[in-house]
Structure 1
Amino acid sequence: MAERPSAALPPTGVSGLLEATDTAVINLDRRHAEIVEHGEKLAINIHSKFDELHQALYAREGELMAKLEGHTKQQVKSLSAQRKEVEILQTQRSFDPNTLEPRETTNTCFVPSAQLVKDCKKFGIVYYADIPRKAITEQKVTAYYRFICPLNSAPPEAKLISKITNKATKCVVKEREKGEYEIEISYQPTVGGGSELIVRVGGEEVVGSPFPVALIDKLGTVINDLNKPYGVALNQAGEIIVAEGDAGIVSIFSPTGDKLRTLDTRGTAMKNPQGVAVDGDDNILVVEGGNHRLLKFSREGDLIAAIGSHGDGPGQFNDPMGVCVNSVNGKVYVVDYGAHCVHIFNSDLTFSSKLGSEGNGNGQFNSPWDVAFDHSGCVYVADCYHHRVKVFTPDGGYLRQFGKSGSGNGELNSPISICVDSNDLVYVGENGSHRVSVFTCEGVFLKSFGSEGSRPGQFSSPYGIVVDQCGMVYVSDVWNNRVQKFIFVN
């Protein structure tokens, strides 16, 4: 393993606060414009739906009026014919009295649809949903919905359904004021780990549904007694995959931290495993610093493939550190610390291309350590000794960079781990400051957490980071021999 970068003391100042507040003002103005634009779109949609109703009602009115007009004309014609017959009878001495009674009556009726009138009064609902995008809780998830309903009508049925148990929860309806209701939906998780909640109102899923949630016991250490945990990853079942460098194994744990199994390393003589990643089929990829290799295992832990050796040629490595699988193009990216580059492999692990070289230019690195990608497939590289993050297209074209040497807000002190979550927030583990800093994908600093130490929430080299769908952040804490978990809410 390469030598650990040294730590530096964080400076003080107000530049970070000013930058953060300036960003907040920009975000508030942007959200103001978004809300106004969204309201205008909804107004157009409401008008459109009522126009459809009006057109349907006008069409039905025309049909009924035409039927009534035709029926009335037929009755009038029948009565006119009967009148002529009666006038002829006036010249005759005998007649049938029954022929004198009008053959047509006024028993034609119009029966309006009471249900239609009732439905029209209840047509359309405007609701305001207030549920956190990352609804993470120790006890329960509560969602509030405000409904503007027609007067004297009950609100529509609302349900909250767990995708794990497929059970709907009970709803409590409170009338805030005349015609306006608030529906409180509470979900009590019964199983640990991540889940998703489906929210339906009036039979339709609300915007944003399904919502990710998680049941957690507590924040802090989730796995103890590891032997130098380096890379960390999650599979589709929420199991935690940890590369234990000094033990030469990759261990797999349940979401609550119980050890389940280790990868079958028979015949591989695994030495100093570093980064780990999971592909779309739940296969596990491991970069092995000691043998300069890339290994691929099945979810169950059986070895599928092993490539690489020490060297500078295609498919060779010089102290590989980090690995990720780009879900957009399916390619595998391996950070080569010693060769100052990123190797790109096809999904079958054949060599594709190389990204970067040693140097100070835009497409160059000084001991890169880890790699990640965002929803569009753009590649983020933790450029350790340049104290920055560099961003590239999936094919390796330079886009931008952020960070500079330091321990202040927005500065980076020897970044050695990186992860991009489902909201394109970038988490960077800093070996020099023993913390995790969080940025937008454009490089705007949001916050940081952690400090040097061994207490809960502190780190001694945050070497690996992974974020699940619920916003739970897992950080491998190398020299404290543990994995910790955190919640970051933007």
Structure 2
Amino acid sequence: MTKKNKKFELKLDLKAELVHIESKDRLKCEVIEQQHGQHKINYRPMKRGKHELHITVNGDAVQCSPFPIAVAPSPQRFVKPSRVVRGLSIPRGTVFNSKGQLIVVESGGATVSVLTPDGEKIRTFGKLNNAYGVTVDKDDNIYVVELSNNRVNKFSSDGEFVAVVGSRGNGNLQFNTPLGICYNKRDNNLYVPDQSNHRIQVISTELKFVRCFGTPGKGNGQLQNPLYASFDSANNLYVTEYFNHRVQVFTAEGKFLRTFSQKADGQKLSLPWAIAIDRSDTVYVSENGPHHGPHHVSVFTSQGAYITTFGGPGTKEGQFNDIYGLSIDRNDSVVVSDHGNWRLQIFQ
């Protein structure tokens, strides 16, 4: 046999492993050899959230390994809630503090209640005028937005009044019918969708003006009645626009990044209201208007790819009547503020 006719074969030992970033759980993947030197990698994650796919050939990592993998929630988890918290009076905005307690605006926006993780009421405080949004800072101070008074209230973690800022207008530290508020742990500031001023106003936790961004309109970076907002793990701000029927994504400094509204079969977001983002950057958006609308929650990836929709109008478990708040607990359970049914529905 001449050298020209010799066949040289290089054996490739290709292995793949999926690692859950938070728990460090490892899952060996099935590697199937295909034609023309290609390989197929099969895996079935046991946990949702962020993963890394590690690929090696003959013991050495391939270029760019590990690869980021985000495992979205299964649509089946939203068919029926794992838990329902009743006995609340017209619940609106919700948020979890560092202890896992749930803070909820109730009584038609007049008070704030603190609940245990199991839904037992610990305390109620405040004397508010048509409040909606609520958030907490790194010290568990509580901030509540009053739509009718056009202001932001600050309370201690125990519910003691600390300070208030705001009045009706379009200047710094003035608002026009604000609903939502969210906290950015990176810069320790509060971001308030200033609805009828069509902008995002940023204030410090000391209730001082920092900056604002956004102008009225339908173009990229413009806003039309922004209602609620939430940050992802990359420190990008997602804003629901009620009358533009979309979600816009900005940097914390206000630079436009992208927008999304497209769902399946040519459908689009309709009257988006509340928004929440879990640890895998899955985005949850409620769609409803006061006393009308689809009354459901649509789910997207952080890039705006549609995943699923759950809910619908009604009083049964898994159905809703005006969703005025969404929040995520430390286990990535989704808490839906079922305003018109006077309850919270929790999906695990």
Q: TM-score range by the shorter chain?
A: 0.7 to 0.9
Corresponding residue for residue 276 of structure 2: 419
Does structure 2 conserve the Cα–Cα contact (< 8 Å) formed by 1:328 and 1:375? no
Corresponding residue for residue 39 of structure 1: 55
Structure 2, gaps ≥5 residues long: 1-37, 44-50, 62-70, 74-80
Q: Would you tell me which structure has more strand in proportion to its own residues?
A: 2
Is 2:260 the counterpart of 1:397?
no
Change (3 A) 1:247 1:371: closer
How far residue 306 of structure 1 moved from its aligned partner, in angstroms, is 0.8
Corresponding residue for residue 447 of structure 1: 308
Is 2:200 the counterpart of 1:342?
yes
Does structure 1 conserve the Cα–Cα contact (< 8 Å) formed by 2:93 and 2:134? yes
Is 2:339 the counterpart of 1:323?
no
Corresponding residue for residue 159 of structure 2: 301
Q: Which amino acid aligns with 2:112?
A: V
Is 2:332 the counterpart of 1:471?
yes
Corresponding residue for residue 221 of structure 1: 84
Change (3 A) 1:41 1:380: farther
Change (3 A) 1:408 1:388: farther
How far residue 304 of structure 1 moved from its aligned partner, in angstroms, is 1.8
Does structure 1 conserve the Cα–Cα contact (< 8 Å) formed by 2:170 and 2:176? yes
Does structure 1 conserve the Cα–Cα contact (< 8 Å) formed by 2:287 and 2:297? yes
Corresponding residue for residue 101 of structure 2: 239
Q: Distance in 2 between matches of 1:231 and 1:358?
A: 25
Q: Distance in 2 between matches of 1:337 and 1:441?
A: 23
What whole-Å deviation, never above 9, does each CA across 1:113-168 have from its counterpart, x for those lacking one? xxxxxxxxxxxxxxxxxxx999xxxxxxxxxxxxxxxxxxxxxxxxxxxxxxxxxx
Corresponding residue for residue 343 of structure 2: 482
Please state whether the residue corresponding to 2:168 is helix, strand or coil: coil
Corresponding residue for residue 438 of structure 1: 299
Change (3 A) 1:287 1:413: same
Q: Which amino acid aligns with 2:103?
A: I
Change (3 A) 1:366 1:423: same
Change (3 A) 1:307 1:37: closer
Please state whether the residue corresponding to 2:55 is helix, strand or coil: helix
Q: Which amino acid aligns with 2:202?
A: I
Q: Would you tell me which structure has more helix in proportion to its own residues?
A: 1
Change (3 A) 1:231 1:325: same
How far residue 462 of structure 1 moved from its aligned partner, in angstroms, is 1.2
Is 2:221 the counterpart of 1:360?
no
Does structure 2 conserve the Cα–Cα contact (< 8 Å) formed by 1:245 and 1:273? no
Query: Where has structure 1 moved over 6 Å in runs of 4 or more?
Result: 33-37
With 346-355 and 420-429 compared, the bigger mean Cα shift is at 346-355
**Aligned match for 1:457, one of 303, 312, 318:** 318
Q: Taking structure 1 as the reference length, what is the TM-score of the superposition? A: 0.54
**C-alpha root-mean-square deviation of aligned residues, in Å?**
2.7
How far residue 422 of structure 1 moved from its aligned partner, in angstroms, is 0.9
Does structure 1 conserve the Cα–Cα contact (< 8 Å) formed by 2:72 and 2:280? no
How far residue 419 of structure 1 moved from its aligned partner, in angstroms, is 0.8
How far residue 220 of structure 1 moved from its aligned partner, in angstroms, is 3.8
Does structure 1 conserve the Cα–Cα contact (< 8 Å) formed by 2:188 and 2:205? yes
With CA pairs under 8 Å and 6+ residues apart, which has the higher RCO, 1 or 2?
A: 2
What whole-Å deviation, never above 9, does each CA across 1:192-246 have from its counterpart, x for those lacking one? xxxxxxxxxxxxxxxxxxxxxxxxxx72422x23222110111111111111152
How far residue 42 of structure 1 moved from its aligned partner, in angstroms, is 8.7
Instruction: Trace 1:271-282 onto structure 2 (pairs within 5 A).
Output: 271-282=129-140
Corresponding residue for residue 229 of structure 2: 371
Does structure 2 conserve the Cα–Cα contact (< 8 Å) formed by 1:244 and 1:272? no
Please state whether the residue corresponding to 1:40 is helix, strand or coil: strand
Q: Which amino acid aligns with 1:221?
A: V
Structure 1, gaps ≥5 residues long: 1-28, 46-131, 135-217
% same residue: 38
Q: Distance in 2 between matches of 1:394 and 1:36?
A: 26
